[in-house]
Structure 1
Amino acid sequence: MQKTMISLLLGVSCLSSSWLSAEDFAAPVAVQQPYTVKSPHGNRQDPYYWLRDDTRTSPTVLDYLQRENDYFSHYSSGYQALTDKLTAEIIGRIKQDDSSVPYNKGEFSYYSRYEAGKEYPIYARKSLKDGIEQVMLDVNQLAAGKDFYQVANMQVSPDQQLLAYMEDTNGRRQYTLKVRDLRTGQDLPDQLTGLSGSIAWAKDNKTLYVVKNDSTTLLSTQVLQHKLGNDAASAKLVYEEKDNSFYMGVGNTGDNNYVVIFLSSTVSGEMWVQDAAKPDSAFNVLAPRQRDFQYSAGHINGRWVISTDWNAPNFRLMTVADNDIGDREKWQPLVAHDDKVFIEDFELFNNYLAINERSEGLRRLKVVPWNAPDKAFYVASDEAAYVTAFERNAEQDTDWLRYNYTSLTTPQSVYQLNMKTGEKQLLKETEVLGGFDKNSYKTDRVWATAADGAKVPVSLLYKKDFKRDGLAPLYQYAYGSYGSSMDPSFRSTVFSLVDRGFVYAIAHIRGGQEMGRQWYEDGKLLHKTNTFTDYIAVTDYLVEQGYAAKDKVFGMGGSAGGLLMGAVANMAPQKYRALVAHVPFVDVVTTMLDESIPLTTNEFDEWGNPKQKTYYDYMLAYSPYDQVSKQAYPAMLVTTGLHDSQVQYFEPAKWVAKLRTHKTDSNPLLFKVNMEAGHGGKSGRFSRLAEYAQEYAFILNLLGQKD
């Protein structure tokens, strides 16, 4: 079955270009049409603005995008055998009939599994009484005949008889709620559309909470309460957010005693809570929002435990009784602030508090007994660069903590730790096929010096027999925005490069949160260029230290990391052999000026509001699309999805069009548009892996490697 699946994928990818004329082999050149982008601080000409089509139906636009795809297919046909080999190799590392570690909740054990040759997971459970499996959702059946399909979230009702789930059929992340009766296996008539992915249940097993999105901006604006059996149009509005800089979601507390509305902006947060046993009662605010005040909370045994940056940039933990919510001044300290340790997350148990911290850029776990906080301890690791994070901990009344451990050399591993006895059990280490041996590789942690003297951590992966002689090719990845930390987690795909002599590097640049909250603050708004110069400094360091050959450096980033690639391409093109930009956010100023574009207003505290001159000038100075100039650029591969709701397809389309008319080099510039997907690419697991193969083949071909 595995060979059959690979053959099908390769057959699809082997697009014959023999029917194309010689004229079609040339890179597409987009026509230029006058268009003025107006702003309070000056107007700009954008001759490629016509590529924006919000309906995604314009024959002219679709024809141009298809010509870009044809050009990509023609160029890549020259190394198709390599792409095919890499596809088979990458898929060959995957255990196709794999399953997750089950977790217990109530009367059932829940898990997901894959069957050999199938693209999508099967979500199932077994009764703890008789061990009989019940398939809740077979996503392969749901996705049949669809170009894109995703189940984004699912929640079982408190009595475990109903399953609410969110589906997306085009990749735009606008979901439809469906509810399956697990007693019959049939979906109920209830459906609500135009939603975000979050779901919450009341304890009556018939009341659901969902979040409605604005149809134009896609912002989450309303919380609706839906009673099963009622018409969707009668869903009750229980909360409406008027501030368009906030994201919103719903959920249940870990003890299932409360329904929670979560609100968050870049710098502020707020939570509204309702007794889950009283769905007709009012929601109450946990603490009123204030600018530069963030918090999140969990509930256990009649009190709330709160993670907050209130007078604590790296966050601290506080607590408040149920009867005292609504007044921040009644919060009591629980875990003090530490300017060297960032609190990432926490889990609540009846007898223990577990904390996921960041220290020196690494994620570690700390266990604190409620009745003996002085006996707190850490979960140890033997590797220099690693990641520990919480697994699914579905029950609070237990001494067992589930957590994930991984590193660049260690596949995802699920452990459980007895917090009382210290006993540790390995429940599963993800099996990697194809002869993989983690002892054949080494991971390391080094520090590069940024332009302003900051020390930037870098996680490295290479073969154990690697020699630091300045001859190796380098594949350097980074993100650097939104406080999202790029942890040194295992990626089976990247071994297709490492096995061919590459050094793989993750640059933990500013704009992420690897080194604490200040690391993020120093990489956003009017400090954003630190993100770009940090990345370049890491490249310089790795070349100077002999980890890489200066003419064999390859960079990759996606979304805001694609912005990074665009900025680096303009600032230091000579330092890179090629750059890969996936779904890149490159038209910063124009997008942030237009509040009708989905999600724009949520981003003002991340990038700045260009309606203010200080931010306008600063953003314009680094915006990749605006800063394209007449110079030589490295080889580039750019990807997008036609239905992307996070970074609209027309940003990279315009960027590529402008690059084609400005670059003075003969290096390839390829643009691949997925016409059926959104921000996350294709939905099937094998299809996604095939996309990695296309990227790696592009890189290896530039080095003349054919196998």
Structure 2
Amino acid sequence: MTTETTPPVARQVPAERTHHGDTVVDEYAWLAAKDDPATIAHLTAENAYTEQRTAHLEALRGTLFAETRQRTQETDLSVPTRKGGHWYYTRTIEGQQYGVHCRRPVRDGETAPPVSADGAPLDGEEVLLDGNQLAEGHDFFSLGAFDVSPDGRWLAYSTDFSGDERFTLRIKDLSTGELLGDEVPDTFYGTAWSADATVLFYITVDEAWRPNRVWRHTVGTPSGEDVVVHLEDDERFWVGVELTRSERFVLIDSTSKVTSEVRVIPADNPTGEPAVIAPRRQGVEYSVEHHGHRFLILHNDDAEDFALAYTSADAPSDWVPLIPHSPGTRLESVDAFADHLVVSLRSNGLTGLRVLPVGGDGHDIEFPEPIHSVGLDANPEYRTRQLRFRYTSLVTPDSVYDYDLVTRELTLRRRKPVLPGPDGRAYDPGDYEQHREWALADDGTRVPISLVCRRDTPRDGSAPAVIYGYGSYEASMDPWFSIARLSLLDRGVVFAVAHIRGGGELGRRWYDEGKLLAKKNTFTDFVACARHLVKAGWTASDRLVARGASAGGLLMGAVANIAPDAFTGIVAQVPFVDALTSILDPSLPLTVTEWEEWGNPLADPEVYAYMKSYTPYENVTAADYPAILAVTSLNDTRVLYHEPAKWIARLRAVAPQGDYLLKTEMGAGHGGPSGRYDAWREEAFVNAWILDRLGRA
């Protein structure tokens, strides 16, 4: 039973905008003024209301948090990764929010990574960076860069204490433990060292938070003397920088949503002029990896699902085919080692790894479960025969494997422990089952669904369920394991992931059919998946909660408008629900770069009309909406807090009979709380609300 309180009423201040002859009145535009005391007062009032309305769930939230903590090995140590003469790893300590980054020298004859009893420090350990010490006195903490120089002497790292992803870059002398005076504010992700570790390349952003400059910094000199190596003038493009695994070249990539261009600088000549591998051509994407005498080129030039080619490293010119295009098999990346190439790919909706020995026949690594997710882990050594990768599924905890590229021997290095839960029983994957089903979309397209539940879950429509979705940017929601999710499954909840168009699960065409003027396929696919779960007996619409975040939050807002009867509740986290307003404003972070994803409504009346027809904020009606929980962060740079704040305000005004809650993290960014315990509490808050909607609180 919820406590009856009165929801905050946002004042209406009509503001007009006109585009392509269409005049729109936005009563809540004033909420975009982050520094206005009235805005903060409104968000604070919303938080108080949400706390009051969910006060009856406080005990359940505590129970869910305790279950996650009970099942988690809090003092732990990651599998050490070898780089040069050291093993690198991260430790977590019970009671501490953040990881401790460490290394230990490699001992004579040591070929396998060292292990630790119950996460205890390794003998001879050197602490490089303790996140808990750095975070002291701050409500938020995040690392951007963490980059040890090739000689192992310097550590370049960057920190963010607000969540706005504007990092301060520093350099630490690992031989003395001292911080250098080199300090650069307002940097972005991505750094690269020169071969002799005297020069560090880094990135800064423009006023719209677009990473557009690559800088060269000489260690030990003031940042005011740093030199711009590359300036990206095209506002559609972001820049990145990295050192190749071979440590021979620094790569500077410029990428838009549909076009790429890569420059290289010899790592032993860091003051050299960047050379373009291939000039940008609109619609052609490519990435570069160095391998011996050649650059490997993964590209989509006349290859929708990408092909692999190479060109000379001395004089890049024509691309020589290496792996031809194979429709339906999406090549996602290539990693080069001295004697092998490893291609990460996806086919039939599942990820995979293909090994190509130099001068030999290739093979795919086989995996036992029909539903799984696999991807490369840290593999910093160029001359190696050991490949490190991660494996998981909806029932298999995160696992780290080493694969011998020569003998094909597979060694499980570590499976994330899942400690006994409230009943005292050890986790047994046999208690759960995972399924792959297919929904039929409105246009006849078959849409895959992955789901997991307890083995004894009934199939008569009586079980409650959660359906998760994203469906944008070709991002694939591959199956993943979650300790916190066990608290839902053990209460009889079915958890499903809808692999809808706009994602990349079924290749590039799957993405293309869910973007621009085909974006509505994303939303109708998700509704089709929800209807399928009901039809197949997994659940019923009055026992089904939908959940999504960021662009998945846009999905949540859209399906609330087009199929409010399909769900009993909707969780929208950092939701992109005022998409049209944001994409019309090129001064906002991300807007110009996003025009190739959503279209440009400023320039194209058709795009404007299409976006206006689906953007959630524009399409709120007096419908009977399901209960909605919107979660956002004040310092989010990617999806600004005022989008969900305006959305909830309009829902209350237009459909006042509904139950709508807004929760704003006042000191966090797009990813929410930064500490692991804070993140567990946030997840417990959301899951308690879900269980309440499902009648399992």
* TM-score, normalising length: structure 1: 0.94
Per the TM alignment, residue 589 of structure 1 is displaced from its structure 2 partner at its CA by 1.2
Per the TM alignment, residue 129 of structure 1 is displaced from its structure 2 partner at its CA by 3.6
Q: How does 1:366-381 map to 2 (within 5 A)?
A: 366-373=354-361, 376-381=362-367
Partner residue of 1:132? 124
**Aligned-partner residue type, residue 6 of structure 2:** A
Partner residue of 2:610? 618
Decide whether the 8 Å contact of 1:408 with 1:461 is kept in 2.
yes
Per the TM alignment, residue 664 of structure 1 is displaced from its structure 2 partner at its CA by 4.7
Separation (CA, whole Å) in 2 of partners of 1:642 and 1:390: 34
Separation (CA, whole Å) in 2 of partners of 1:482 and 1:699: 27
Separation (CA, whole Å) in 1 of partners of 2:470 and 2:541: 22
**Aligned-partner residue type, residue 486 of structure 2:** F
What residue ranges of structure 1 are gaps of 5+ in the alignment? 1-16
Separation (CA, whole Å) in 1 of partners of 2:59 and 2:481: 27
Separation (CA, whole Å) in 2 of partners of 1:650 and 1:63: 13
**Aligned-partner residue type, residue 301 of structure 1:** G
Moved more, 33-42 or 305-314: 33-42
Q: Does 1:78 align with 2:56?
A: yes
Per the TM alignment, residue 419 of structure 1 is displaced from its structure 2 partner at its CA by 1.7
Partner residue of 1:11? none
**Aligned-partner residue type, residue 401 of structure 2:** Y
Separation (CA, whole Å) in 2 of partners of 1:152 and 1:92: 30
Moved more, 89-98 or 623-632: 89-98
* TM-score, normalising length: structure 2: 0.95
Q: How does 1:276-291 map to 2 (within 5 A)?
A: 276-291=267-282
Per-residue CA deviations over 1:353-402 (Å, capped at 9, x if unaligned) read 111111110001111222112xx222212212101111111112112111
Separation (CA, whole Å) in 1 of partners of 2:152 and 2:640: 39
Separation (CA, whole Å) in 2 of partners of 1:238 and 1:352: 32
What residue ranges of structure 2 are gaps of 5+ in the alignment? 109-122
Partner residue of 1:404? 390
Q: Does 1:392 align with 2:390?
A: no
Q: Please give the secondary structure, in 1, of the residue aligned with 2:555.
A: helix
Q: Please give the secondary structure, in 1, of the residue aligned with 2:190.
A: coil
Equivalent residue in structure 2 for 1:566, among 548, 551, 557: 557
Partner residue of 2:26? 46
Among all aligned residue pairs of Structure 1 and Structure 2, give the percentage whose two residues are the same amino acid: 40
Equivalent residue in structure 1 for 2:324, among 314, 320, 336: 336
Per the TM alignment, residue 283 of structure 1 is displaced from its structure 2 partner at its CA by 0.3
Q: Does 1:301 align with 2:279?
A: no
Separation (CA, whole Å) in 2 of partners of 1:45 and 1:627: 13
Separation (CA, whole Å) in 1 of partners of 2:642 and 2:17: 15
Equivalent residue in structure 2 for 1:425, among 411, 414, 419: 411
Separation (CA, whole Å) in 2 of partners of 1:363 and 1:335: 18
Partner residue of 2:76? 98
Decide whether the 8 Å contact of 2:298 with 2:306 is kept in 1.
yes
Q: Does 1:446 align with 2:437?
A: yes
Q: Please give the secondary structure, in 1, of the residue aligned with 2:158.
A: strand
Separation (CA, whole Å) in 1 of partners of 2:383 and 2:430: 38
Separation (CA, whole Å) in 2 of partners of 1:251 and 1:400: 22
Separation (CA, whole Å) in 1 of partners of 2:46 and 2:652: 12
Q: Please give the secondary structure, in 2, of the residue aligned with 1:89.
A: helix
Partner residue of 2:89? 111
The root-mean-square deviation of aligned C-alpha atoms, in Å, is: 1.3
Change (3 A) 1:381 1:556: same
Q: Does 1:689 align with 2:669?
A: no
Q: Does 1:464 align with 2:450?
A: no
Equivalent residue in structure 2 for 1:505, among 467, 474, 496: 496
Separation (CA, whole Å) in 1 of partners of 2:694 and 2:552: 24
**Aligned-partner residue type, residue 339 of structure 2:** N
Separation (CA, whole Å) in 2 of partners of 1:184 and 1:576: 59
Partner residue of 1:13? none
Separation (CA, whole Å) in 1 of partners of 2:537 and 2:249: 55
Decide whether the 8 Å contact of 1:39 with 1:593 is kept in 2.
no
Q: Does 1:348 align with 2:339?
A: no
Per the TM alignment, residue 323 of structure 1 is displaced from its structure 2 partner at its CA by 2.1
Q: Does 1:123 align with 2:101?
A: yes
Q: Please give the secondary structure, in 2, of the residue aligned with 1:427.
A: strand
Q: Does 1:62 align with 2:54?
A: no
Partner residue of 1:33? 13
Equivalent residue in structure 2 for 1:592, among 569, 583, 597: 583
Partner residue of 1:310? 301
Decide whether the 8 Å contact of 1:41 with 1:613 is kept in 2.
no
Decide whether the 8 Å contact of 2:144 with 2:188 is kept in 1.
no
Separation (CA, whole Å) in 2 of partners of 1:337 and 1:276: 32
Separation (CA, whole Å) in 2 of partners of 1:155 and 1:93: 32
Q: Please give the secondary structure, in 2, of the residue aligned with 1:609.
A: coil
Equivalent residue in structure 2 for 1:152, among 121, 128, 144: 144
Q: How does 1:4-43 map to 2 (within 5 A)?
A: 25-43=5-23
Separation (CA, whole Å) in 2 of partners of 1:691 and 1:641: 12
Partner residue of 1:195? 187
Q: Please give the secondary structure, in 1, of the residue aligned with 2:450.
A: strand
**Aligned-partner residue type, residue 366 of structure 2:** A
Per-residue CA deviations over 1:238-296 (Å, capped at 9, x if unaligned) read 11001011111111111111111111111001111000100111100111001110000
Decide whether the 8 Å contact of 1:632 with 1:664 is kept in 2.
no
Separation (CA, whole Å) in 2 of partners of 1:701 and 1:62: 29
Separation (CA, whole Å) in 2 of partners of 1:463 and 1:382: 20
Separation (CA, whole Å) in 1 of partners of 2:614 and 2:693: 28
Per the TM alignment, residue 43 of structure 1 is displaced from its structure 2 partner at its CA by 2.2
Separation (CA, whole Å) in 1 of partners of 2:12 and 2:59: 37
